[in-house]
Amino acid sequence: MALMRHEKYAGERVWWLLGMAVVGVLVVIDILTGHQINGVYAGGAVLTAVFCGPGRTAAVAVTALVASIASGVWNDNLGDSAWAVRFVACALLCSVAVLTAVVSRRRRRDLERTTTLAQHVLDALAVELTGARTVTDVADGFIGHARDTLGAKSAMVLVLDPDDVLRTVTWAGRGGAAADQFQEVPLTSDVPGAVAAREGTDLHYRSVREIEAAFPALAGYYPTDLSLHVLPLRRGERTLGLLALTFPVGSFTPAEDGFLHSMAGALASALLRAEELQSADAATQRTALLAEASMTLSRSLDLDSTLAEIVRLLVPRFADWCSVQLLDGDELRTVAVQHRDPETTAWARGMVDAFPTRMDAPTGGPNVIRTGRSEIYPYLPADLVDAAAHDDEHRTILRRLGFTSAIVAPLTGRHAVLGVVTLIHAESGRRYTDADLAFLEEIADRAALALDTAATFEQQSERLAGVTLVAEAAQRAILAPPPPRVGPVALTARYISAAVEAKIGGDLYEVVDGPSAVRLLVGDVRGKGLTAVRTATVVLGAFRAAAADTGDVAEVAREIDRRLLPYLPDVEDFVTAVLVDIHHDGRFTIVSCGHPSPVLMTAGDGARALDLEHAVPLGLGADPRPTEGVLRAGDRLLLFTDGLIEARAPDGSFVDPTAFLDAVATAPVETALDGLLDALQRAAGHSLEDDLALLLACYDPD
């Protein structure tokens, strides 16, 4: 800046000297020619006025006037009419020159001020917006620097939503409760912002009197005099929103309105870029969160830990607020609430019981419970927020929280809707889209399975507390009988505990209706006792969660292996298992992780064990290769644990169950396993010495 001032001073000095030289040349011509020309001596002042300030111009003008008087002396006509006419002309031209210099200096100063302001604003924004990736970040950064640099009394940015309502993103210098009416501005309303956005035209009012003359309804709104500048934020034919600024009267002249327009254009470009970044970031976050949720939600079998994991996953990466509500009888009970700020979270948890959920509410959690369908609110109108309030106090709290967008999705467990999860954007200013809704529904499905598993395990843990001996009833609390039919597959299962003296084992089975096939699991945990039962429960929970995904059955096995490892009590522990997918067209896929092969039973060929490629058991890095086949109508698959092939006869030899299996292929499905167990126990001559789990699946598309 000092160098620029020095260069400017040097340039003006040259033109001042040139102006003086012009006066001198004209004087010499006057003297040498004898023709009096004192009227044009002002030419030096006129030349100086073009390039210099009023001070230097006045110096040349005074010199010209003095020389004009002197001309009357040497031409011996001082005071007569001819000299006087020329002197007056010189004086007028000098006056015009000085006045021109004054006006030019003022304009130059205004231009320099505008240029300096623009540079300061742009420099500040360049630094502030470098890391800004949301619309709110851009708006906050812009407004903060606009107030500091331009000296604005207030500044606000609004975005235009698809429902043709301008909604406030940020507002610095907001005044009083009367300003609440401008938090949301319908495009059809008769206020400056709506008119500017509707017509796509900048509006400038230099005083409150001008504002009230144009909009009588605003009479008395502004307590002090000010100027108002309302500028639509446009890109091409699209109106993104609005920038509104107020200044002390006289701060900005009409000549500087163009600068404000350019500033609004820069803000529009920044907001458009932020929209694109925000959308890209959201897509990336959705992908990352979905992968993380699939891996982490089934790690814990504790209900409180699972709830904490759900809200941790979603806040703040996908929401400013997250709440989980579970059905407790006919009521929705809030069991988890989280905000991005820990202090606000603590406050919210203390308010949970103050405003219970109204189950007759037409929207939100109660309606999602009734319909089983999610709800999305890309923007939350003020009247919808007000309608959710219990009373005036509650309404005031909700308004202060500044909710902008919300999604409510059902938590659908294996047998019923367990509750709802609600996500809300507030201070971040972000808006939910249909892509976000689809994502949350996937998260909600995984969360519901995890909650269902945790709740089941909690119930089972209560039942199993203190149990150390075999209890078939306790085992059935873990291994619930499968439904008689899932899709095209008829099912039946049996579990037989070992002798009364033995401890509870870890044999297990499960059936899940997957996205493209009926999925079956039979497994055997190494070891006995409550530890084996706990491991079995982990495997079942992991299977239910993984089986809900679209991956093939080999990927389900690998996912169970990954989830199981942290829960194995010893490095030598493992779980053998066989997993089967039966598709609706009869195709089946089987993988074995160190487990006996299933038996295929057909009407024409009898019973035969399938030839499989066996991988290492679960928990030891299982990476199985699938075997495929096709079932015809009436074909059956028998999955079993090693209690079937390790039963011993009274003489100590192993009982061969092959002779009993043909009957299983032809007996009614619901009783086929009873006949197998009766025959096996007769051949053994005593109670079985090992647990035995049997799962029979019959392909019956009709």
Q: Are 513 and 483 in contact (CB under 8 A)?
A: no
Which residues have C-beta within 8 Å of that of residue 368, sequence separation ≥ 6?
A: 374, 375, 408, 409, 410, 420
CA distances from 360 to 352, 364, 418 (A): 18, 10, 18
In sequence order, the β-bridge partners of residue 154 are 246
User: Which one is predicted more confidently, 407 or 145?
Assistant: 407
Domain 146-280 CATH (choose: 3.40.50.880, 3.40.50.620, 3.50.50.60, 3.30.450.40):
3.30.450.40
- Under the banding of pLDDT at 50, 70 and 90, the label for residue 123 is low
Please check the confidence at residue 464 and state whether its pLDDT lies above 50: no
541: nearest Cα among 440, 596, 461, 621? 461
Beta bridge partners of 628: 589
The stretch 424-436 carries a mean pLDDT of 85
Fold of 479-699: Phosphatase 2c; domain 1 (3.60.40)
Say yes or no: do domains 146-280 and 479-699 share a fold: no
- pLDDT score of 376 more than 80: yes
Count of other CB atoms within 10 angstroms of residue 368: 23
Distance from C-alpha of 300 to C-alpha of 278, rounded to nearest angstrom: 32
* Predicted local confidence at residue 129, as pLDDT: 55
**Alpha-carbon distances, residue 80 vs 73, 85, 86, 245 (angstroms):** 11, 9, 10, 62
Is pLDDT larger for residue 131 or for residue 342? 342
DSSP 175-195: -TGGGGGGSEEETTSSSHHHH
Question: 688 or 518: which carries more pLDDT confidence?
Answer: 518
pLDDT-derived band at 462, boundaries 50, 70, 90: low
pLDDT, tens digit, for every residue of 530-562?
A: 677 788 888 998 898 888 777 899 999 999 999
pLDDT at 182: 81
279: region left, alpha or beta (phi > 0 left; psi from -120 to 50 alpha): alpha
pLDDT for 501 equals 41
299-329: b (≥16 Cβ within 10 Å) or e: bbbebeebbebbbebbbebbbbbbbbbbbee
Distance of alpha carbon 425 from alpha carbon 71, whole angstroms: 83
Query: How far is C-alpha 84 from the geometric centre of its chain's CA atoms?
Result: 83
Nearest to 500 by CA among 693, 654, 688: 688
The dihedral through the CA atoms of 57, 60, 62, 64 has a sign that is negative
Q: How far apart are CA 340 and CA 423, in angstroms?
A: 12
The first and second tokens of residue 128, run together, are 């502030």
Averaged over 689-702, what is the pLDDT?
88
Local confidence band at 270 (pLDDT 50, 70, 90 cut-offs): confident
- Return the closest-CA partner of residue 457 out of 519, 528, 521, 533: 533
Is the Cβ–Cβ distance between 607 and 696 less than 8 Å? no
Closest CA to 637 of 670, 665, 659: 665
What is the amino acid identity at position 245? L
Task: Say if residue 468's pLDDT is above 70.
Answer: no
43-91: pLDDT as tens digits:
878 888 888 888 888 888 888 888 888 888 888 788 788 888 888 888 8
Distance (Å, rounded) from C-alpha 618 to C-alpha 628? 21
Give the amino acid at 49.
A
Phi and psi at residue 607, to the nearest 5°: -110, 135
Please give the CATH architecture assigned to the domain spanning 302-457: 2-Layer Sandwich (3.30)
DSSP secondary structure letters along 44-95: HHHHHHHHS-HHHHHHHHHHHHHHHHHHHHHTT-TTSHHHHHHHHHHHHHHH
Are 692 and 496 spatial neighbours (Cβ–Cβ below 8 Å)?
yes
Domain limits of the chain?
1-123, 146-280, 302-457, 479-699
Q: Is the pLDDT of residue 9 over 70?
A: no
User: Which among 170, 154, 171 is positioned nearest to 227, based on CA atoms?
Assistant: 154
Signed CA dihedral, 500, 501, 503, 509: sign only: negative
What's the chain's average pLDDT? 83
CA 309, 277, 398, 386 dihedral sign is negative
CA angle 543, 319, 270 (to 5 degrees): 130
Q: What angle do CA 405, 409, 413 make, to 5 degrees?
A: 165
The predicted pLDDT at position 112 comes to: 62
Q: What are phi and psi of 493, to 5 degrees?
A: -145, 155
For residues 556 and 548, what is the distance between their CA atoms, to the nearest angstrom? 9
Q: Residue 393 CB: number of other CB atoms within 10 A?
A: 11
Phi, psi of 482 (to 5 degrees): -70, 160
Query: What does pTM read for this prediction?
Result: 0.47
Cα dist from 641 to 455, 494, 526, 691, whole Å = 27, 11, 12, 8
pLDDT in tens, 142-152: 887 777 777 88
Q: Residues 353, 338: contact at Cβ < 8 Å?
A: no
- Split at pLDDT 50, 70, 90, the class of 465 is very low
CA distance 643 to 657: 11
